[in-house]
Amino acid sequence: MNYRRSGNTVVLRLDRGDEIMESLKRLADECGITGGSFYAIGALGEGEIGVFDPEKKEYSLAHLKGDHEIDSLIGNISRMDGKSYVHAHIVVTDKDLKTTGGHLIKGTISLTCEIFVNVLDEPVERRYDPNVGINVFDL
Protein backbone atom coordinates (compact mmCIF):
# COMPACT_ATOMS: atom_id res chain seq x y z
CA MET A 1 0.00 0.00 0.00
CA ASN A 2 1.35 3.39 -1.04
CA TYR A 3 -0.36 6.75 -0.86
CA ARG A 4 0.07 10.49 -0.94
CA ARG A 5 -2.23 13.29 0.14
CA SER A 6 -3.07 16.45 -1.79
CA GLY A 7 -5.42 18.73 0.11
CA ASN A 8 -8.61 16.79 0.84
CA THR A 9 -7.75 13.97 -1.58
CA VAL A 10 -5.66 10.89 -0.90
CA VAL A 11 -4.33 8.92 -3.88
CA LEU A 12 -3.83 5.30 -2.84
CA ARG A 13 -2.27 2.39 -4.73
CA LEU A 14 -2.76 -1.17 -3.56
CA ASP A 15 -0.41 -3.86 -4.81
CA ARG A 16 -0.61 -7.62 -5.35
CA GLY A 17 -1.65 -9.34 -2.12
CA ASP A 18 -3.04 -6.23 -0.42
CA GLU A 19 -6.48 -6.73 1.13
CA ILE A 20 -8.82 -3.87 0.17
CA MET A 21 -10.87 -3.42 3.36
CA GLU A 22 -7.89 -3.77 5.71
CA SER A 23 -5.87 -1.32 3.61
CA LEU A 24 -8.63 1.32 3.62
CA LYS A 25 -9.04 1.00 7.41
CA ARG A 26 -5.27 1.33 7.83
CA LEU A 27 -5.24 4.40 5.57
CA ALA A 28 -8.05 5.97 7.60
CA ASP A 29 -6.13 5.35 10.84
CA GLU A 30 -2.79 6.61 9.49
CA CYS A 31 -4.26 9.73 7.88
CA GLY A 32 -6.84 10.50 10.57
CA ILE A 33 -9.74 10.15 8.10
CA THR A 34 -13.00 10.15 10.08
CA GLY A 35 -15.31 10.72 7.12
CA GLY A 36 -14.98 10.44 3.37
CA SER A 37 -15.79 8.61 0.17
CA PHE A 38 -13.74 6.65 -2.35
CA TYR A 39 -13.82 5.19 -5.83
CA ALA A 40 -11.41 2.82 -7.55
CA ILE A 41 -10.53 0.50 -10.43
CA GLY A 42 -8.05 -2.35 -10.56
CA ALA A 43 -7.73 -6.13 -10.47
CA LEU A 44 -9.07 -8.59 -7.89
CA GLY A 45 -7.65 -12.07 -7.34
CA GLU A 46 -10.11 -13.40 -4.82
CA GLY A 47 -12.79 -12.00 -2.62
CA GLU A 48 -16.07 -12.32 -0.84
CA ILE A 49 -19.13 -10.28 -1.70
CA GLY A 50 -22.67 -10.31 -0.42
CA VAL A 51 -26.22 -9.13 -0.74
CA PHE A 52 -28.08 -8.24 2.45
CA ASP A 53 -31.31 -10.11 3.15
CA PRO A 54 -33.48 -7.71 5.22
CA GLU A 55 -35.77 -10.49 6.47
CA LYS A 56 -32.96 -12.68 7.78
CA LYS A 57 -30.78 -9.65 8.62
CA GLU A 58 -27.72 -11.35 7.19
CA TYR A 59 -25.68 -11.44 3.99
CA SER A 60 -25.96 -14.10 1.29
CA LEU A 61 -22.31 -14.57 0.33
CA ALA A 62 -20.44 -15.43 -2.87
CA HIS A 63 -16.75 -16.30 -3.03
CA LEU A 64 -14.72 -15.06 -6.00
CA LYS A 65 -11.55 -16.79 -7.20
CA GLY A 66 -9.40 -16.15 -10.23
CA ASP A 67 -8.61 -12.97 -12.09
CA HIS A 68 -11.29 -10.25 -12.11
CA GLU A 69 -11.27 -6.69 -13.36
CA ILE A 70 -12.56 -4.23 -10.78
CA ASP A 71 -14.98 -2.24 -12.93
CA SER A 72 -16.14 -0.14 -9.99
CA LEU A 73 -15.27 -0.01 -6.31
CA ILE A 74 -17.11 2.70 -4.39
CA GLY A 75 -17.78 3.36 -0.76
CA ASN A 76 -17.29 5.49 2.29
CA ILE A 77 -15.20 5.82 5.41
CA SER A 78 -16.75 6.66 8.76
CA ARG A 79 -16.31 5.84 12.46
CA MET A 80 -18.13 3.45 14.77
CA ASP A 81 -17.36 2.76 18.41
CA GLY A 82 -14.13 4.74 18.12
CA LYS A 83 -12.79 2.72 15.17
CA SER A 84 -12.47 3.29 11.43
CA TYR A 85 -15.39 1.81 9.49
CA VAL A 86 -15.31 1.12 5.75
CA HIS A 87 -18.44 0.37 3.70
CA ALA A 88 -17.79 -0.69 0.10
CA HIS A 89 -19.60 -2.08 -2.93
CA ILE A 90 -17.83 -3.64 -5.89
CA VAL A 91 -18.56 -4.67 -9.48
CA VAL A 92 -16.11 -7.11 -11.11
CA THR A 93 -15.81 -8.92 -14.44
CA ASP A 94 -14.25 -12.37 -14.83
CA LYS A 95 -12.26 -13.83 -17.77
CA ASP A 96 -15.51 -14.86 -19.48
CA LEU A 97 -16.73 -11.25 -19.27
CA LYS A 98 -19.37 -12.21 -16.69
CA THR A 99 -20.05 -9.30 -14.37
CA THR A 100 -21.09 -9.60 -10.72
CA GLY A 101 -21.21 -7.29 -7.77
CA GLY A 102 -22.36 -6.63 -4.26
CA HIS A 103 -21.28 -5.52 -0.81
CA LEU A 104 -17.53 -6.12 -0.45
CA ILE A 105 -16.71 -8.25 2.58
CA LYS A 106 -13.06 -8.78 1.65
CA GLY A 107 -10.94 -8.78 -1.46
CA THR A 108 -7.30 -9.36 -2.34
CA ILE A 109 -5.61 -7.47 -5.16
CA SER A 110 -4.06 -9.57 -7.95
CA LEU A 111 -2.22 -6.79 -9.82
CA THR A 112 -2.95 -3.27 -8.61
CA CYS A 113 -5.82 -1.06 -7.48
CA GLU A 114 -6.00 2.72 -7.93
CA ILE A 115 -8.12 4.51 -5.34
CA PHE A 116 -9.04 8.16 -4.87
CA VAL A 117 -10.29 9.06 -1.38
CA ASN A 118 -12.22 12.30 -0.83
CA VAL A 119 -11.67 13.37 2.79
CA LEU A 120 -14.41 15.30 4.62
CA ASP A 121 -13.66 18.05 7.11
CA GLU A 122 -16.18 16.66 9.62
CA PRO A 123 -16.38 13.15 11.12
CA VAL A 124 -19.17 10.76 10.14
CA GLU A 125 -20.37 8.37 12.86
CA ARG A 126 -22.35 5.14 12.57
CA ARG A 127 -24.73 3.30 14.85
CA TYR A 128 -26.48 -0.04 14.67
CA ASP A 129 -30.16 0.21 13.67
CA PRO A 130 -32.04 -2.88 14.91
CA ASN A 131 -35.02 -2.06 12.68
CA VAL A 132 -33.02 -2.71 9.51
CA GLY A 133 -30.27 -4.88 10.97
CA ILE A 134 -27.29 -2.89 9.72
CA ASN A 135 -25.00 -0.06 10.78
CA VAL A 136 -26.28 3.29 9.49
CA PHE A 137 -25.01 6.87 9.48
CA ASP A 138 -25.78 8.59 12.79
CA LEU A 139 -26.71 12.06 11.50
pLDDT given for residue 102 in this prediction: 98
Low-confidence ranges of the chain (pLDDT < 70): none
To the question of domain 2-122 being in CATH 3.30.70.890, the answer is no
Residue 122's beta-bridge partner residues?
none
Q: What pLDDT digit, counting tens, does each position of 95-131 carry? A: 999 999 999 999 999 999 999 999 999 999 999 999 9
pLDDT given for residue 68 in this prediction: 98
Task: Identify residue 101 by its one-letter amino acid code.
Answer: G
Residue 31, φ and ψ in degrees, nearest 5:
-100, 0
pLDDT given for residue 49 in this prediction: 98
pLDDT given for residue 116 in this prediction: 98
